[in-house]
Amino acid sequence: MQGLHLTSLLSILILMITAFIMPVIKQRQLVTKISLATMGVVLVMLALVAVDVARVEHYTATIGHYDAPFGITFDIGPIEAVVGVLFAFVSTMVVWYASFGIHKEIKENRVKLFYTLIHLLLASLLGIVFTSDLFNSFVFIEVSTLAACGLIAIKDKPENIKATMKYLILSSLGSGLVLMGIAYLYSMTGHLNMRAIHETLQVSVAGNERAILVSLTMFTIGLGIKAAMFPLHIWLPDAHASAPGPSSAILSGIVIKAPVVLLFKVLFMVYGHEILKDTVILNLILIFGATGMIMGSLFARVQTDLKRMVAYSSVAQMGYIFFGFGLGNAMGMTIAIYHILAHGLTKSCLFLSVSSFIEQTGQRDIDNMRGIGREMPITLAIFSLGGLSMVGIPMLPGFVSKWNLALAAIDYGQIFLLLIILASSLLNVSYYFPIIINGYFGNANLEGKIYKSKMKPVRELVPLILLSIMMVIVGFGSGPILDWIASAMPSL
Amino acid sequence: MISFITSHYFQIGTVILFGVGFMTLLLNNNLIRKIIGLNIMDTSIFLFFITIGYTGGREAPIINGAFKGIDAYVTPIPTGLMLTGIVVAVSTTAFALALTILFYERFGTIDLSEVMDSRGD
């Protein structure tokens, strides 16, 4: 159905339009309702898109009836559909959660701006994922960067300004590199459409090897900065730890995922495996990913601030995704995309529960979280579920990722990579389990704590519970999801 | 080598400018200088794009009077793209400058090295 094909474009347009309606509305309650309704509509639309993709495998939405090499098109296959639904779902839940408590964390007159920024952010992230025009994706990247910076700076504390500055500077470096990479590709091929570039590059590799390598490096480093690839992650802990709770959930859950999806498309759909196998880029990504898995966890271990610890855990988890790409075989790529889903749901769950700990107790230190399980049993249960998924307890999405990543590493032929996965999992245990155990058990920890004394009303916890239910569903239903993603992998 | 330099001097110049801007943005501690570096870097990319689109001896693609055939005009796409690029660069610069003002109000300095704590993590 042709009409349905434009739903993907329409979802972005609705978000952009509502984003700019909000600042002019007076009542905060109305703004919240509009935001929630819009998010719900977008979620339904993207679910329809996914159903449609499942039926016809793949479709293209042309914008303004200009066809592929000249006009901008949205090429939507299973990967884009799955990631799009994930983004919409996480944002809906975060907006729902934020509607109860965001005015306590930021100034009253900035609440409307918060929703505006979230809408702009989601619109640009969906754009990055859907578009098949490189320059268009660059514009969306810039919009998402500025919106994400706004979401950090909205809290107005000195450390927020500092973190935003760091993020903005490094992000601008990344954008500059990406744009230069696009310029190289354009000068070699004369196209901006991904498929057209791919076709032209295949015939004009000879004589352009150096230019191809330079542009590949620019894309990898530029998008690597934005996606917090290990040595380029230095902006992430400050930014994600200082932002208001719902912002952190969105930043860690989905904002760092969009550049990864774009990097995937650039590497495997624009350059293609024929070019990649002659370069060192994939090995480089594999090494960065593996180092990130270990170092991110080691850094997380030594943190005393709970939110910083969860932020460093994101660095480690992004390592898994890059590790999957770096393996370069179909299974590794499939599991990298699956881990985007798994980590997106799990990390937003963790950040939201951590932010309710901080909101209810006023404490940020891990040591002060002892006995929290008696005061806030449900929230800690959700946190534990997320932590267990990160560690890799069977049937949760984190386990599915690790298991299949291990299989992909065996398939790749390097057994020692298994040790890295194992070591990273054990490190995850060492920083998630103490919080859970000290939260629920130990007489000294529980002394003087009153059961359910600091618990939030259950209706405020509904979005968190839904997120964790979704997480479990993604874990249990991993078979069909993996098959569906694998069906879209570019042939090697 | 010499012929490469004489035929590609525009591209070589833009890449040098890109390097200058990139290193200024990365290594300088003064926020205003960082923003200037950002602008140099962006401008070098615009120049690079425009030199790709330029073909010697051709006119701008504006039909004034008779149409002279496709070979008489340069391709308009890079120029059009760079209009968008300039808008993006301006908004990033504006945001960075606004943030610098906030930074100065909070910390009383625009030097990053004075504020950033070197915790090493």
As a whole number of angstroms, the distance between CA A427 and CA A300 comes to: 9
Contact A89, A348 (CB under 8 A): no
Q: Which residue of B has its CA nearest to A167?
A: B96
Q: What is the pLDDT along chain A (492 residues), one digit of tens a residue?
A: 456 678 888 999 999 999 999 988 888 889 999 999 999 999 999 998 888 888 876 778 887 777 777 788 888 888 999 999 999 999 999 999 998 888 888 888 888 899 999 999 999 999 999 998 999 999 999 999 999 999 999 988 888 999 999 999 999 999 999 999 999 999 888 888 888 899 888 888 777 888 899 999 999 999 999 999 988 888 999 899 999 989 999 999 899 999 999 999 999 889 888 888 888 899 999 999 999 999 999 999 998 899 999 999 999 999 999 999 998 888 889 999 999 999 999 999 999 999 998 888 888 888 888 888 888 888 899 999 999 998 888 888 889 999 999 999 988 888 888 899 999 999 999 988 888 888 888 777 777 777 777 778 888 889 999 999 999 999 998 888 888 888 888 765
Residue B64 lies in a domain: no
Contact A94, A144 (CB under 8 A): no
Contact A260, A340 (CB under 8 A): yes
Residue B121 lies in a domain: no
A298 inside 8 A of chain B by CB: no
Contact A77, A488 (CB under 8 A): yes
Secondary structure (3-state) at B119: coil
Closest residue by Cα to residue A189 from A203, A178, A179, A175 = A203
Q: In chain A, which residues have their Cβ closer than 8 Å to the Cβ of B25?
A: 169, 172-173, 176
Longest dimension (CA), chain B: 68
Domain count, chain B: 1
∠ at Cα A111 (A107, A115), nearest 5°?
150
ipTM for the whole complex:
0.92
Q: Which residue of B has its CA nearest to A238?
A: B121
Kindly determine whether residue B25 and residue A169, on different chains, have CB atoms separated by under 8 Å.
Answer: yes
List all residues of chain A from 126 to 155 with a beta carbon under 8 Å from chain B: 135, 138-139, 142, 145-146, 149, 153
Q: How many CB atoms lie within 10 A of CB A9?
A: 18
Closest residue by Cα to residue A179 from A140, A209, A147, A153 = A140
Nearest chain B CA: its distance from A390 CA (Å):
22
Q: In chain B, which residues have their Cβ closer than 8 Å to the Cβ of A197?
A: none
Kindly determine whether residue A168 and residue B96, on different chains, have CB atoms separated by under 8 Å.
Answer: yes
Token pair for residue A490?
């570019």
Q: Residue B95 sits in which domain range? A: 2-56+72-112
As a whole number of angstroms, the distance between CA A388 and CA A214 comes to: 41
Q: Which residue has the tokens 């979280």?
A: A369
Interface test with B, best of A171, A172, A173 (most B CBs within 10 A): A172
Interface test with A, best of B34, B75, B91, B95 (most A CBs within 10 A): B95
- Mean per-residue pLDDT over chain B, rounded: 86
Q: In A190-266, where does DSSP find H-type helix?
A: 194-203, 209-226, 236-242, 245-250, 257-264
Kindly determine whether residue B84 and residue A164, on different chains, have CB atoms separated by under 8 Å.
Answer: no
Q: What does the H/E/C string look like for A436-466?
A: HHHHHCCHHHHCCCCCCCCCCCHHHHHHHHH
As a whole number of angstroms, the distance between CA A71 and CA A134 comes to: 12
**How many CA atoms within 13 Å lie on the side-chain side of B37?**
20
Q: What residues pair up with A60 in beta bridges, in sequence order?
A: A75
Q: B45-60: per-residue pLDDT in tens?
A: 999 988 888 877 787 7
As a whole number of angstroms, the distance between CA A423 and CA A437 comes to: 21
Find the CATH number of the domain harbouring B77: 1.10.287.3510
Give the one of A149, A162, A187 whose C-beta lies nearest to B52's C-beta.
A187
DSSP class of A304: -
Per-residue pLDDT at A17: 93
Secondary structure (3-state) at A294: helix
Residue B62 lies in a domain: no
Residue B45 lies in a domain: yes
Please give the torsion angle defined by the CA atoms of residues A200, A206, A207 and A208, in that order, rounded to the nearest 10 degrees: 50
Interface test with A, best of B15, B49, B91 (most A CBs within 10 A): B49
Residue B14 lies in a domain: yes
* A41: Cβ contacts below 8 Å, ≥ 6 apart: A11, A14
- Number of helices (H), then strands (E), belonging to chain B: the values are 5, 0
pTM over 0.90: yes
Residue B67 lies in a domain: no
Kindly determine whether residue A146 and residue B95, on different chains, have CB atoms separated by under 8 Å.
Answer: yes
Q: In chain A, which residues have their Cβ closer than 8 Å to the Cβ of B96?
A: 168-169, 172
Nearest chain A CA: its distance from B26 CA (Å):
8
Per-residue pLDDT at B100: 93
B96 inside 8 A of chain A by CB: yes
B4 inside 8 A of chain A by CB: no
Longest dimension (CA), chain A: 74
B103 inside 8 A of chain A by CB: yes
